[in-house]
């Protein structure tokens, strides 16, 4: 039995992975760092503490990780306010599921970006609990952010379902013990091992219904 549903945000509700990639790559190149082709995939699912340290240590930015974090978030806020990259049908899917289940959100995004995105989508009031991975010890694929979202919702993780798109996100939710509904991002698809771990795989949010959540 499913008592609550916990959404991921980037890649599920927002087509934002490319925006993150563009913002971080631009910053690295502007500041004389060393961008490489694996950087985007390496950072996917990392908490802000983890990816800002990665940009300092691996991509060789001179600024401190907190300075890097603040500048990336500032640029992301500008991009979201100019044009929120909402996935088609995202708000409708949230509303559809919220009619039957209490909702949580477990995201690798920073708290200001979570709050802004949900506000701009018009669905902020539908989420009873939202968690940023910067608020827990470890980012995805560790289970921390999903465990904390379930705790704030007051449900056993085993009685919750997750809606995820990414390799690390699917593994995170599965490690936390949730039923996992995967909606793969076509541009940054999860690996076969993660897809095999998902309980359901959907082509789009249009197929996400309370019946699918319940299985």
- The CATH architecture one would assign to domain 4-14+86-214 is 3-Layer(aba) Sandwich (3.40)
6 close to 163: Cβ distance less than 8 angstroms: yes
Residues 136, 119, 186, 140, Cα dihedral to 10° = 0
Strand arrangement of the beta sheet that strand 200-201 belongs to:
127-132, 103-107, 4-7, 160-164, 179-182, 200-201
86 close to 14: Cβ distance less than 8 angstroms: yes
User: CA-CA distance, 98 to 140, in Å (whole number)?
Assistant: 24
Q: Is the dihedral of CA 65, 67, 70, 72 positive or negative?
A: negative
What are the structural domain ranges in the chain? Answer: 4-14+86-214, 17-82
Tell me the whole-structure pTM to 2 decimals: 0.93
Run of H or E residues at 202: none
Count other Cβ atoms within 10 Å, centred on residue 194.
Answer: 22
CATH T-level fold of 17-82: DNA polymerase; domain 1 (1.10.150)
Q: Helices marked H in 44-131 — which ranges?
A: 48-57, 65-82, 90-98, 111-121
User: CA-CA distance, 79 to 68, in Å (whole number)?
Assistant: 17
pLDDT at 134: 92
pLDDT at 46: 87
**Cα separation of the two ends of the chain:** 9
Q: Helices marked H in 101-197 — which ranges?
A: 111-121, 144-153, 167-175, 192-197
User: CA-CA distance, 119 to 111, in Å (whole number)?
Assistant: 12
8 close to 45: Cβ distance less than 8 angstroms: no
User: CA-CA distance, 157 to 176, in Å (whole number)?
Assistant: 7
Same fold? 4-14+86-214, 17-82 = no
pLDDT at 166: 92
One pLDDT digit (tens) per residue for the chain, 215 residues: 999 999 999 999 999 989 999 999 999 999 999 999 899 888 987 889 999 999 999 999 999 999 999 999 999 999 999 999 999 999 999 999 999 999 999 999 999 999 999 999 999 999 999 999 999 999 999 999 999 999 999 999 999 999 999 999 999 999 999 999 999 988 888 999 999 999 999 999 999 999 999 99
């Amino acid at each position: 039995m499913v008592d609550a549903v916990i959404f991921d945000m980037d890649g599920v509700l927002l087509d934002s992975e490319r925006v993150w990639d563009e913002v971080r790559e631009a910053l690295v190149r502007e500041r004389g760092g060393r961008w490489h082709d694996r950087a985007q995939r390496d950072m996917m699912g990392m908490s802000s503490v983890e990816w800002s340290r990665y940009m300092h240590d691996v991509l060789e930015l001179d600024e401190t990780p907190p300075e890097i974090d603040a500048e990336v978030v500032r640029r992301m806020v500008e991009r979201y306010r100019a044009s929120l990259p909402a996935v088609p049908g995202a708000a409708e899917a949230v509303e559809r599921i919220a009619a039957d289940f209490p909702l949580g959100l477990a995201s690798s995004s920073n708290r200001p970006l979570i709050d802004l995105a949900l506000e701009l989508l018009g669905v902020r009031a539908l989420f009873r609990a939202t968690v940023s991975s910067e608020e827990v010890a470890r980012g995805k694929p560790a289970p921390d952010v999903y465990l904390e979202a379930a705790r704030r919702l007051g449900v056993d993780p085993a009685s919750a379902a997750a809606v995820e798109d990414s390799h690390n996100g699917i593994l995170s939710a599965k490690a936390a013990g949730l039923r996992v509904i995967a909606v793969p991002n076509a541009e940054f698809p999860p690996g076969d091992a993660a897809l095999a771990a998902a309980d359901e795989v959907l082509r789009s949010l249009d197929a996400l219904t309370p019946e699918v959540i319940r299985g």
